[in-house]
Each structure stands twice: as structure tokens, then as C-alpha cells.
């Protein structure tokens, strides 16, 4: 007998395990239910409020023929790009939404490395209150980092991913440092032949590479997990509680968020946050409005200006990125370097928060893309967002 679950997903719930939750087709369920696979902490909204019905998106397929990747219209492109949830805002108003049959308007979805960008927004508020100084050494808050790769770098080096780190961001690795990293975060099953590690213990084993800190951009998720630990050291509170009080509640989020945690309760600040698409769009709209929500400042203006303008383009070029040829990276956010001033947060498996200030556009696209990276689809998505930004209803 076929269950309702199997009719919805094409497989049974029991088929989804910690060993396969990031692989297709199981990710179509697990990316919306990460808390069922990995221990998680709630990032509380002030009060959960049902969002009601999605805004109709029927106008888009007729209004914006695409031709991207051979897809004739927006709806076809969203399906082609493994989209679970999609929100398009213009001038502060949601003008179109789309949810896959297995997703929903009030359902959280893991956003992977968009978590890094949300973490940085919390640090912005701590800096404003004098609780964290980006120019200070990491050891000022985490003295036990001495002797590791982080023992002689600044928090700014970590924020901008310019740490000299002997580490390979190899998402499909099964037997090296990245596999240890996954196990330490409880994202992969334990290996009986290997000792258990916590996230912090793993981070403190990482070694410095041969070159100095502060050079080329070097994307490494452990940097962002370290930022989450620094947040806890600076405040004496849990990462989830700090994000709730300093970002999620002031933002006016309608649904609780969550973050995966390790065996000690340490948050996966680099990639473990799950949020609804609409709440993520609220983050983008807040930034588009200069860090303000309903006349109240959430993110300091000076920090936002720095994030948008101070990234080192040469460091980006020297990092040999194959994306954003004019781009920069600052405080865990990407700047496109294009004349429209677009900036974004990006997560593996097709997670995007895209903001184009020139057209007052905010776009959220949450996905269960089978390939974690898929550079070709990343370029298609960027072209898709630029087309939507240029479109006027």
C-alpha cells in the first residue's frame, strides 16, 4: 500500500537517513525538515503567525518569457532549477510566490551558507554595542585558538574569509578533514573507526597554510562556524538566543527559525539555519531599506555601508572565483560588482537571497538542487534574478 508520504515525495519517510539526507531525491523532504535529522535549537520569533495563502504567480509566465537554459517561462525555469520556495518582492511588496507541492509558505527550509550572512548581521549589532571588535584577534575571545590556524588572525580576517587555512571545502569528501567536519556537526553518521569530535574541538585542530592571513579570499565554512562560537563568547548566551533577540524578533519574522547544533549544543553558524522563504525575504528587504524595519534601526548604517563597499576586489580575483568577475566579498556577503549594486547571500544546493537596490527588488529562491555547487546553474540563476529585477509588473 502506497502511503500519503510516498505519494507526495516518491519515497517513504523511513528511507530518509542521516547518511543520505543531503542527496536527491531525499533532500526534497529533508531540506524542509532538517530538525528531524540533526539536533536543532529554535531561533524564536516574537510569536508565530500563519502567513496565510501565497501571492499568486500566474502573471509571471506570460509577462517574462525567458529562454534561460531552454526554459520558456518563469514557472518552467523554477521547476528546472529544483525550486522548493520562491518569493519576489518589488518596492516592499510581494508580487509573486511559488512553492513546490512538497513545500509551503510556513515551512522552514535549510538555507545552508546563507546562515553565514545571517551570522554576520548579528555580529554587526554586537560591534555597535562594543561587544565585538572585528580588528581584534580571535584569541581575545577564544584564547584556546592559540596554536591553531586562528591563533594569529583577526576577526576581520575570519569575516572576510581571508584566513590562511590548510583546509579543502570538499562537499562530497568521505574520508578526509571535511568528512570529520560533517561528523563533528552531526550532519553525517558517526564513524565507529574514528573518535567522536565536537565542532569546536575540530576547529582547533585546523592548521595555518604557508601564506599569511589577509591575502586572497579563501572560502572555508569553518571560519563561519568559528564566528558563531565568538558570538557566544562575546555575549555569554547561546547563538540561537542571540540571533533571536538581535535579529529575528526585531525583524518581525512571522515564523520561528532553527539552527542545527552539535553534541555540545554548538550551533552550525556556517550552514545550519532553517527559515521560511518569506522571513528570509524580510531580511533582504530590511537591508534594502538601509538596515531599518518600520522606522527602527536593526543593522547599523555604517556597518551596512562597509559591507556593501569595502570588500577587496583584488582579494576576490586572487581567490580565483569563477563567479562575479567584478565581485567582492565582505562580512560574509557577496557583492556582484555590477552597476546595479546587487548583493546576495548564497547557499549550496541552490539557496539564494538576492537584493537589487536599483530596482527595489528582493528575491528568495530555496531549492533542493541535487549538485551542491552546479556552477552552470549558478550562472543561470544569476541571469534569472537580473531578468526579474529588470521586470516591472
Q: Which residues are catalytic?
A: 113
DSSP state, 291? Answer: S
- Please, which residues have CB within 8 angstroms of residue 89's CB and are 6 or more apart in sequence? 95, 281, 284, 285, 361, 362, 363
Alpha helices in the chain (DSSP H): 4-9, 27-30, 59-63, 74-80, 114-128, 155-159, 177-184, 199-203, 221-235, 239-243, 249-251, 277-288, 301-309, 313-318, 375-390
Identify which of 313, 386, 324 has the alpha carbon closest to the alpha carbon of residue 355. 386
Task: Check residue 13 and report its DSSP letter.
Answer: G
Chain center to CA of 231: 17
* Sequence-distant contacts of 63-66: CB under 8 A, at least 24 apart: 63/391, 63/393, 64/387, 64/388, 64/391, 66/384, 66/387
Q: Which residues contact 71 (CB under 8 A, 6 or more apart)?
A: 77, 80
Chain-centroid distance, C-alpha 77: 22
Amino acid at each position: 500500500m502506497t502511503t500519503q508520504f510516498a505519494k507526495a515525495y516518491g519515497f517513504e519517510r523511513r528511507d530518509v537517513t542521516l547518511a543520505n539526507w543531503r542527496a536527491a531525491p531525499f533532500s526534497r523532504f529533508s531540506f524542509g525538515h532538517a530538525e528531524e535529522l540533526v539536533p536543532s535549537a529554535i531561533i524564536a520569533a516574537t510569536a508565530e503567525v500563519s502567513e496565510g495563502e501565497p501571492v499568486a504567480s500566474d502573471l509571471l509566465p506570460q509577462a517574462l518569457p525567458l529562454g534561460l537554459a531552454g526554459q520558456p517561462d518563469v514557472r518552467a525555469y523554477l521547476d528546472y532549477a529544483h525550486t522548493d520556495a520562491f518569493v519576489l518582492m518589488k518596492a516592499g511588496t510581494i508580487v509573486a510566490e511559488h512553492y513546490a507541492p512538497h513545500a509551503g509558505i510556513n515551512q522552514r527550509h535549510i538555507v545552508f551558507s546563507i546562515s553565514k550572512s545571517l551570522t554576520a548581521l548579528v555580529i554587526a549589532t554586537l560591534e555597535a554595542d562594543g561587544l565585538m571588535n572585528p580588528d581584534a584577534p580571535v584569541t581575545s575571545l577564544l584564547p584556546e585558538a592559540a596554536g591553531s590556524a586562528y591563533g594569529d588572525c583577526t576577526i576581520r580576517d575570519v569575516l572576510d574569509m581571508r584566513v590562511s587555512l590548510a583546509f579543502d571545502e570538499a562537499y562530497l569528501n568521505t574520508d578526509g578533514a571535511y568528512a570529520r567536519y560533517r561528523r563533528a556537526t552531526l550532519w553525517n553518521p558517526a564513524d565507529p573507526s574514528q573518535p567522536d569530535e565536537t565542532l569546536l574541538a575540530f576547529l582547533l585542530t585546523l592548521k595555518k597554510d604557508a601564506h599569511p592571513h589577509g591575502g586572497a579570499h579563501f572560502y572555508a565554512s569553518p571560519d563561519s562556524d568559528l564566528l558563531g562560537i565568538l558570538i557566544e563568547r562575546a555575549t555569554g548566551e547561546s547563538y540561537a538566543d542571540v540571533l533571536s533577540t538581535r535579529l529575528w524578533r526585531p525583524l518581525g519574522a512571522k515564523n520561528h527559525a532553527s539552527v542545527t547544533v552539535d553534541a555540545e549544543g554548538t550551533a552550525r553558524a556556517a550552514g545550519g539555519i532553517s527559515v521560511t522563504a518569506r522571513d528570509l525575504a524580510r531580511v533582504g528587504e530590511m537591508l534594502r531599506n538601509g538596515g531599518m524595519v518600520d522606522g527602527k534601526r536593526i543593522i547599523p548604517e555604517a556597518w551596512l555601508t562597509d559591507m556593501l563597499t569595502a570588500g577587496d576586489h583584488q582579494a576576490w580575483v586572487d581567490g580565483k572565483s569563477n563567479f562575479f568577475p567584478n565581485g567582492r566579498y565582505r562580512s560574509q556577503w557577496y557583492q556582484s560588482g555590477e552597476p546595479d549594486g546587487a548583493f546576495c547571500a548564497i547557499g549550496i544546493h541552490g539557496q539564494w537571497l538576492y537584493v537589487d537596490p536599483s530596482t527595489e527588488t528582493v528575491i528568495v529562491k530555496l531549492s533542493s538542487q541535487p549538485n551542491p555547487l552546479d556552477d552552470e546553474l549558478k550562472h543561470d540563476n544569476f541571469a534569472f534574478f537580473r531578468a526579474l529585477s529588470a521586470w516591472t509588473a
